[in-house]
Structure 1
Amino acid sequence: MTLGQIAGLIAALAFVGLVIFLGMMLVQLAKLLKNLQATVEETTKTVKTLTIDMDQIAHQGDELTAKVNTLMTDVNGKVAKLDPFFNTLENVGTTLENATDKSDAKKHAHKFSPVAAGRLAKIAWKIYRKK
């Protein structure tokens, strides 16, 4: 063998080694890509499931918000109906306070007792309920 043939043989062996190394790398790359594809498919399924679940949660949230709005409208209406009653009670309280002022306390003591105040509140309630 000549020196040129030995150099050619070394180059050929190096090329064969490189081809074998690249072949092994390509096999590993193929396995990696296969695993990556499976991961992407699983991620796609998970995202679809999450999207469906989030749509359901959003729909339920909308329904709940509508029910809360209806409830608040109802409560506000009922509170508005109670305003005249509380105004009447305030007027009764003011009247009792004026009637039982310190200067007139002895004069009106027999007219306004706690029992009488309770009776006035009961009468005011009956009047309010009739309206």
Structure 2
Amino acid sequence: MKHRVSVLMRHFRIVLLMMLIPATLWCQGVVLHGNVYEAGSRVPLTGIKIKVKFNHLTEDLREIRVDKGGFFQVVLLPDSEIEVIVENPHFLPFNQRVSTYGKKEGDKVFVSIELGRKTIDRSDDQAHTGH
């Protein structure tokens, strides 16, 4: 019985540490947060993939997804420059540079991303089909 309690306490400590470590890591930078919506209607867009490129290095790229409310957030390092990129087959591309220079840990930077829909040119389809 004593051994079982010891094992349970060890598991409890591990679970507690796993829960606390992300919370401490979360506070170690500048929070980039924002929303993504469709141009014109301002309807929030969900599931859109956002690429965050750090210091203009293609090797240092993070991808996040917009949640059901059209919101996103990611933790960045202070005193860095990043590029926010959205490439989606249904929308025009979006690209914006964001700087965290002068920001300290715990500060927030907000980005509002407005995506315009791509228009489909059907004139080529009609020329080839005769309709």
- In proportion to residue count, which structure has more helix? 1
**Is the strand fraction higher in 1 or 2?**
2
Settle same-fold status: TM greater than 0.5.
no
- TM-score, structure 2 as length reference: 0.30
Higher relative contact order (CA 8 A, sep 6+): 2
The structure whose Rg is larger is 1
**TM-score (norm. length: structure 1):** 0.30
